[in-house]
Amino acid sequence: MRALGRLLQFAGLVIPPLAIVSQLAETISLGQMLTFLVAAVAAFWIGRILEGYAAE
């Protein structure tokens, strides 16, 4: 459970720069970039919760 939480946190940190670079290269739209950013925040948050529950 802890490993899954760490993986989700890592994904939440990696996705935003990739989304920004993709939008700057004009391969995705601004709306798609914002969707990726929201998904990254959600993934990081869920990963943090899972990691916290695994510690208990």
Residue 17: predicted pLDDT:
96
Whether residue 1 is predicted with pLDDT greater than 70 in this model: the reply is: yes
Could you give phi then psi for residue 29, rounded to 5 degrees? -85, 170
Q: Across the chain, how many H-helices and E-strands are there?
A: 2, 0
pTM for this one? Answer: 0.86
Which element (helix H / strand E) includes 56?
A: none
Instruction: Report the alpha-carbon distance of residue 10 to residue 12 in Å, rounded.
Output: 5
Per-residue pLDDT tens for 8-43? 999 999 999 999 999 999 999 999 999 999 999 999
The reported pLDDT for the residue numbered 43 is: 97
Question: What's the CA gap between 41 and 13, in Å, rounded?
Answer: 8
Q: Domains in the chain: how many in total?
A: 1
Q: Would you state the structure tokens that stand for residue 43, as one six-digit string? A: 């993934």
CB-based contact 49:12 (threshold 8 Å): no
Q: Identify the domain containing residue 45 by its residue range.
A: 2-55
Whether 56 has a pLDDT exceeding 70, the answer reads no
